[in-house]
Amino acid sequence: MFDFEFEQTLIAPSILSADFLMLEEELGRIEDADLVHFDVMDGVFVPNLSYGPPVLKAVKRGTKLPVDVHLMIDKPDKRVDSYIDAGADIVTIHYESTNHAHRVIRRIRDRGAKAGIALNPATPVCMLDPLITEVDMVLLMSVDPGFGGQSFIDSTIPKIKQVRELCKHYHVNPWIEVDGGVDETNAGKISAAGANVLVAGSSVFGKDDCALAIRALREAGNIGNLRRI
């Protein structure tokens, strides 16, 4: 599965924006994507509730794509196992959600999944310094988490560049994912700054033709990659 070339922009549609009544058909509409983004919200860490391991199990049956689980939950420490048991390929926890990020990341990797660390828009990139060598992915939130359909926060762009600098410093190459308000108009500058995974909820599921929307995002991202310095 993780045999993508780094420079290719990967598209991860967020099924938070899908029609839950027809999840199987919705997964069929995004089969040209690279990952399925699965947003877990607990009503505590973020002011919204979504779904958990039983729905993840169903999603795994309905797609061949790797599933990228974004845990927006307080104290994920004891709960990552249930998502790995349900088939998560990548499990991302929030830096702000636990006092023991290092331990939780080790646990995810020991269980055989890829581990990601996410930062809210107000959390500075320097917080990643002790963790960057331990993760497979960094997720930068470009909206305050909790809802789909919000507007992209522009201060994410310099943060992407800072993550790249940090990675260079430590000679590591985690995926850099950006989540929130991503669409065809900003995918190029996000990729040019150094992100390689674009999460897209409303800009994919809000369109009649999801395959076309995915292609447009990927092309905008790949053009952005050519502008990367």
Contact partner, 201, from Zn ion, ligand DX5, none, Cβ < 5-8 Å per class: ligand DX5
Cα separations in angstroms, 218 against 7, 16, 27, 197: 11, 20, 18, 10
Query: Which residue in the block uniquely carries the two structure tokens 């877990």?
Result: 40
Q: Catalytic pick from 39, 68, 89, 183?
A: 39
Q: How far apart are the first and last CA of the chain?
A: 28
Q: CB-side exposure of 219: number of CA atoms within 13 Å?
A: 6
Task: Tell me whether residue 3 is one of the annotated catalytic residues.
Answer: no
Rounded least distance, CB 68 to ligand DX5, Å = 10
Beta bridge partners of 225: none
Least distance in angstroms from the C-beta of 168 to Zn ion: 26
User: Which one is catalytic: 68, 89, 136, 179?
Assistant: 179
Residue 179 appears among annotated catalytic residues: yes
* The length of the chain, given as a count of residues: 229
* 179 touching Zn ion, by CB under 5 A: yes
C-alpha to C-alpha distance for 114 and 89, rounded to whole angstroms: 6
The residues in 35-54 that bind Zn ion, with binding defined as CB under 5 A, are: 39
Closer residue to ligand DX5 (CB): 150 or 225? 150
Enzyme catalytic residues: 39, 179
Residues that bind ligand DX5 (CB under 6 A): 14, 16-17, 37, 39, 70, 143, 145-150, 179-182, 199-203
